[in-house]
């Protein structure tokens, strides 16, 4: 059996996307999902996305990490599946879709996707880091000389610390460039490695930077290894609302995978 797939990337965060509106894909087959995402024996991706029918909205998004396990919200994956739904002509320029963390509004023009993220109100500030959930849990620490940081080993240590139990946490290392620009490197759970970009991660960084007064701007530029992203938000009574993650999402190629 051959499986038709599409590969998309958003600032280097890459995904295999399947049109599963016919509900034929075996979602319980973790080994198959992991094999498809494997960079030596499969297509190669940070995760796999399923586009499915929704009873009330434009579509439903289901996301699996590269290890085969269903995961929490993926921001760059969300932007890529919006681009994919536009490619399939399921949507035109705007949509509302279902994800594991609720509903998301998005718009697309010339492959540039603006994705509304969840509101954020629960932010915990520690001495050396900030913890918050932007659809996925994130540890944000500000540092210098970010290019010299051993993201894999330091990120892995924090990700597996007892403080976050078996679910683990995504780990973001951040260096401020100017008032509203920050460099970000992220260790992602599920991928269990540094990724070129993380959408929920840069969203967490932007909100954390504003919360601890690293920046007064409500429009933050995030420089990842894979490219630039933008996060904007509004603040009301200490709550971060109308949070938008913005950036390009593009089709890399499509093909068939032999099962």
pLDDT mean over 236-252 = 97
Q: Could you tell me which residues are beta bridge partners of residue 181?
A: 178, 221
pLDDT at 161: 87
Of 141, 142, 109, 139, the C-alpha closest to 246 is 109
Looking only at the bridges linking them, the beta strands covering 13-19 and 193-195 are: unpaired
Q: Which of 37, 74, 80, 95 is catalytic?
A: 74
What is d(CA 64, CA 15) in angstroms, rounded to the nearest whole number? 10
pLDDT of 98 above 70: yes
Same-domain check for residues 75 and 149: no
pLDDT in tens, 31-62: 999 999 999 999 999 999 999 999 999 999 99
Q: What is the pTM of this model?
A: 0.95
Asked if residue 205 lies in contact with residue 172, where contact means CB atoms within 8 angstroms, the answer is: yes
Residues 159 and 199 in one domain: yes
Q: Return the pLDDT at 259.
A: 87
**How many C-beta neighbours within 10 Å does residue 60 have?**
19
Cross-strand pairs, 234: 241
Which residues are bridge partners to 138 per DSSP?
132, 170
Q: Residue 113 pLDDT more than 90?
A: yes
Give the per-residue pLDDT at 165: 62
| DSSP-assigned letters across all residues of 95-151 | EEEEETTEEEEEEEETTEEEEE---B--EEE-SS-EEEESSSEEEEEE-S-GGGS-H
How confident is the prediction for the chain on average, in pLDDT? 96
Residues of the domain holding 142: 123-244
Residue 199's CATH number? 3.10.310.10
Task: Please check the confidence at residue 145 and state whether its pLDDT lies above 70.
Answer: yes
Do residue 127 and residue 229 come from a single domain? yes
Tally the domains of the chain: 2
Task: Give per-residue pLDDT as tens, 146-187.
Answer: 999 999 999 999 998 877 766 889 999 999 999 999 999 999
Q: Which of 37, 80, 95, 198 is catalytic?
A: 198
Verify that 58 and 152 share a domain, yes or no.
Answer: no
* Same domain, yes or no: 131 and 154: yes
Cβ-based burial of 164 (10 A; exposed 0-12, middle 13-18, buried ≥19):
middle
Residues 13 and 98 in one domain: yes
Asked if 76 and 143 sit in the same domain, the reply is no
Same domain flag for 178 and 88: no
Domain co-membership, 66 together with 160: no
Q: Are 149 and 237 part of one and the same domain?
A: yes
The predicted pLDDT at position 207 comes to 98
Look at residue 105 and tell me whether its pLDDT is greater than 90.
yes
The question of whether 198 is a catalytic residue gets the answer: yes
Note the pLDDT of residue 154.
96
Alpha-carbon span 232 to 169, nearest angstrom = 23
Residues 234, 127, single domain; the answer is yes
* Domain shared by 240 and 130, yes or no: yes
Angle at 188 between CA 185 and CA 193, to 5 degrees: 85
């Amino acid at each position: 059996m051959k499986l038709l797939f599409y590969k998309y990337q958003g600032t280097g965060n890459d995904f295999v996307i399947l049109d599963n509106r016919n509900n034929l894909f075996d979602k319980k087959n973790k080994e198959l999902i992991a094999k498809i995402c494997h960079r030596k024996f499969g297509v190669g991706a940070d995760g796999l996305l399923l586009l499915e029918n929704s009873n009330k909205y434009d579509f439903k998004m289901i996301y699996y990490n590269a290890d085969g396990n269903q995961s929490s919200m993926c921001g760059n994956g969300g932007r890529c599946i919006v681009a994919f739904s536009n490619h399939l002509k399921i949507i035109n320029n705007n949509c509302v879709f279902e994800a594991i963390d609720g509903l998301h509004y998005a718009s697309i023009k010339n492959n540039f996707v603006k994705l509304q993220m969840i509101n954020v109100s629960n932010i915990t500030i520690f001495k050396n880091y900030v913890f918050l959930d932007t659809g996925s849990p994130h540890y944000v620490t500000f540092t210098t000389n970010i290019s010299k940081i051993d993201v894999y080993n330091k990120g892995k240590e924090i990700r597996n610390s007892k403080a976050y139990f078996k679910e683990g946490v995504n780990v973001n290392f951040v260096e401020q460039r100017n008032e509203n620009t920050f460099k970000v490197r992220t260790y992602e759970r599920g991928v269990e490695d540094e990724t070129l970009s993380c959408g929920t991660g840069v969203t967490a960084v932007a909100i954390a930077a504003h919360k601890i007064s690293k920046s007064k701007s409500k429009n933050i530029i995030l420089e990842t290894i894979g490219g630039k992203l933008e996060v904007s938000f509004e603040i009301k009574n200490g709550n971060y609302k109308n949070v938008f993650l913005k950036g390009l999402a593009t089709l890399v190629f499509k093909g068939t995978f032999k099962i």
